[in-house]
Structure 1
């Protein structure tokens, strides 16, 4: 998942970026509203975290402009403690939730995960597809109750495909949502991750968990749940 952090206070921005990166997110960052607006309008993120009090362009205007060009990804605003006016104004501008500074990292993680889930139509952190269960809070995957060991990139690839189950996701989109902007990208690496996931989660090919869409990318097959039940898996 790819996130945007727009925060002018260096210590808070570093706290956000370091923690979110540790959680397996790819994170772009901006130190002022003008730079933040460029990122917000240029890319399609899974979520943006935007401080209200930014130099050059405040967070409220940034949100309005991003929404004005059709950006629909969830936005979490950062506000000063007790400033309820900022919360109301931010939500009315198009933000989806708010977090009061100073904040605990665990609350940040919970709100980020919840917003991403809701945006994809999932109310629970557990994504269940027949014998496969993806716990987006714990970042774990199991098959028939047994934990499947995945690397962070394998997990992130699977989670992104599962959250967008039924959609054809291109290699380009996957690399943009998995890697940092300055990461040297190689689309062949995605093929390796997909191959590993198939081997670990569907070794006998009975589930047809991830299908290759020729010329279009990959698709997490939401219909395999019915197939799995029919086959007694």
Structure 2
């Protein structure tokens, strides 16, 4: 397949599913989880900051880490990749779904509405008693650990090591990928399951999967076409 063929397939598709990963937000200056472990955080293992056990043991340290990341993502702005995907949703309407592994909220801020956040969202907290999700206050008003309107302590609203993805979000993503004429896999390494398996839902039902990534991934040999570029330029080549 050529780039022209891939572009034509995206244009003709009535049903499109998209999976995005850290590579999309990298162009907004948001580091990956491990890249963010600098300075005082370099001495911690990821599991020390992002697991139920770590939170139970030391909620104050975990919340200090996430409060810093929360401030970082609010300072960031959606980039061209986020904007292009929001415009693609407008073009495809109900035939579109975006599933993201990112927790920074930038897709929503760019205008994406048919969106599922597979790993949660840093901009919110989850009531530890009721499991209700509430937006966090502005960083200058955030005290940690935060308390929900119900008076209960809240945990970060993200999926930690050893936890399952939200079943409703994963089910919606799987259904969209299974029904897709074309799926886009953008800025993700394809090693974290079950999200990485979504592409196979499309392929097994005869759909096409196009990857946008500057490097080959574990998914590459199985896919229909790959655009070797960063997310913004790769999506621009496909969508404009």
Task: Provide TM-score, normalisation by structure 1.
Answer: 0.32
Task: Kindly indicate whether structure 1 or structure 2 has the higher relative contact order, using CA contacts under 8 Å at least 6 residues apart.
Answer: 2
Task: Provide TM-score, normalisation by structure 2.
Answer: 0.31
